[in-house]
Structure 1
């Protein structure tokens, strides 16, 4: 069977695309050409309806077993195979399907400050013209209604960042030695050491890949009348595209997406007032995450300093476990 040996399972907006591209450069690793096949998200064909733009995303699912196995058939003998679908961690059904089909799989999890992750997620969809609400706090307040209406997981700004619940379920299926857990900031601040840690976890040579490419960087256009008008047209096009072949639907929406990103600036930091409004949505789960992992994540519940870091962050490599001992590499 041509099934992957390891999976990058989460979370979205934590650098999984860049990590996928970096791991593909290792001669002992073979990464799927389709970065995010989403195979384990369903037991069959994906849904056909959802939120704005979801229909096009559903069309991209590699949902049949033969098509999924075909992604790994070209792997050279002796290489380890992998894929990266960051929604697997969030989706409990996906966790169970992975365990049923590949119980010995090694799983890679990247955790990012959940408030920052939610903001990055919202920025991605808003700047693409798909998110109709121009305020991340109000958009998060719509999550329960959207989920009930069948909007896909990428619209679950809060739910995707409740890692404690997700890992508690995952550790009920997989032994902890099969799961590598690290922070997004590790990948950003210490890319070489983090890549070596991943390679060590997978059992391949370290010191081979030495950088993480910049991939999937979201621009943040100003909320101008032009952006509003293009966004409305794009959402209309995405709705119409549900009833068209995938290639034709893409020809309608892709020029609009490029136009929306054309004048975008880098993602703007989240203000403290907005951060304060969102932190309570994660407080109980951060406490659960600390119990589940034995690590400290309380820095996620504070303000950010002017350099973009979290107040009270320890220097890289100096974070402590709850029992006071240094965190294991």
Structure 2
């Protein structure tokens, strides 16, 4: 019989469309972690089930494993973050930030793949559902997070780093939660470029096929194919095509101004320059 713990020692809290699925897969593979399921949604959608229900999810045969969960929607709700703090003020939090407009457009494309906003361009979709942009306004979200949790308990990194150096990105996360940072999971170099997933999903059905094969235990074969030069060429071509299309989108100047102001506030909160983001505005 497994030993029931007091809950997770780390929680991934965001952001949506920021590479969180990739990080979840990497962490779940790690032999020193225990992650019961993807996107538990306890603190936002299932809170009425009670803390005992949540704790029992982390019952495991090996008490030496570090338990955690990842639900990227948590950061977008003040109430949710407050609930996490009430549950465990010492828990470690992981947050991946992505350039705001890119994240918002990726969310819009994902919603389209689910059948929403099919007949609306990006600006019309934002006007109909401002939440698309609001989730990208990080300064208030992180400001609230830091009002409750000490900065030492929060690991913040950037989606762009996953694209540039996934090995270092994952190592930093591992060291933050106290596990071996030298471990290389199979998913490490299977970086999902979230900006093109919806396009691939609609046009080729490749994501569904990949996920099916992963469930059937063909992860190593998939990684072998992804290391082929032809696959790399095709992926780069698709990414470039997606970026070109994104750059052609005419975003409402009011939305751009809102993003710019929020990024400037975020720079002050994080005490770092986000000039690479601001170059897009």
Q: Same fold (TM over 0.5)?
A: yes
Query: Which structure 1 residue ranges, 4+ long, deviate > 6 Å from structure 2?
Result: 221-224
> What's the CA shift string for 1:68-99, capped at 9, x where partnerless?
22321125211111111111111100110000
Which residue number corresponds to residue 190 of structure 2? 213
Q: Unpaired runs of 5+ in structure 2? A: 204-237
Q: Aligned in 2, Cα 1:85/1:78: closer, same or farther, shift over 3 Å? A: same
Distance in 2, matches of 1:99 and 1:219, equals 34
Structure 1 equivalent of residue 153 of structure 2: 178
Contact residue 100 and residue 136 of structure 2 kept, 8 A: yes
Query: Is it true that 1:122 corresponds to 2:108 in the alignment?
Result: yes
Report the counterpart of residue 104 of structure 1 in structure 2: 90
Structure 1 residue 38 displacement after superposition:
0.9
Q: Does 1:299 align with 2:276?
A: yes
Structure 1 CA distance for aligned equivalents of residues 69 and 113 of structure 2 = 27
Total equivalences in the alignment: 235
1:185 Cα deviation after fit: 0.9
- Is 1:16 aligned with 2:2? no
Q: Distance in 2 between matches of 1:183 and 1:38?
A: 23
TM-score by length of 2: 0.76
2:43–2:80 CA contact under 8 A, matched in 1: yes
Partner of 1:58: none
1:98-135: CA deviation from partner (whole Å, max 9, x where unpaired) = 00011100000100000000000000011221234431
Q: Does the Cα contact within 8 Å between 1:19 and 1:212 map onto a contact in 2? A: no
Give runs of aligned pairs for residues 40-59 of structure 1, distance below 5 A. 40-42=43-45, 44-45=47-48
Q: Does 1:37 align with 2:49?
A: no
RMSD of aligned residue pairs (Cα, Å): 2.5
Contact 1:8 1:85 in 2 (8 A): yes
Matches within 5 A, 1:163-242: 163-209=138-184, 211-214=188-191, 218-220=197-199
Alpha carbons 2:94, 2:154 under 8 Å: kept: yes
Change (3 A) 1:164 1:212: farther
Q: 2:242 aligns with which of 239, 243, 268?
A: 268
C-alpha offsets along residues 11-49 of structure 1, whole Å, 9 cap, x if unaligned? 00001111011011111111122x10111115745xxxx
Q: Distance in 1 between matches of 2:201 and 2:11?
A: 36
Q: Does 1:160 align with 2:139?
A: no
Q: Which has the higher helix share?
A: 2
For 1:126 and 1:101, how far apart are their aligned partners in 2?
A: 35
Aligned partner of 1:318 in structure 2 is: none
Output the CA distance in 2 between the equivalents of 1:219 and 1:158. 18
